[in-house]
Amino acid sequence: MIYLVSNQRSLFETDKYKEISFEDAKKKLYELSVIQLDTETSGLDPFTKELLTYQLGNKENQYVFDNLSYPITLFKELLESDNILLILHNALFDLKWCYKYSIWPKHIYDTMLAEQLIWLGWGTQEFYNGIEPWEYEHNGYTWPYLEATTAKGKLIYKFSTSLKAVSKNRIGVELDKTVRGKINKVGLTPEVIEYAGLTFGPKIN
pLDDT one-digit tens code per residue, 24-43? 999 999 999 999 999 988 88
| Tens digit of each residue's pLDDT (9 = 90 or more) over 146-159 | 666 677 777 666 66
Give the other-Cβ count within 10 Å of 55's Cβ: 25
| Contact predicate 52/40, CB 8 Å | yes
Of the two residues 59 and 98, the one the predictor is more confident about is: 98
Q: Hey, CA dihedral for 108, 106, 76, 28, is it positive or negative? A: positive
| Tens digit of each residue's pLDDT (9 = 90 or more) over 61-91 | 999 999 999 999 999 999 999 999 999 999 9
* Structural domains in the chain plus CATH codes: 2-112+174-198 (3.30.420.10)
Average pLDDT, the chain: 80
Tell me the pLDDT band of 21, cut-offs 50, 70 and 90.
very high
The whole model's pTM is what? 0.77
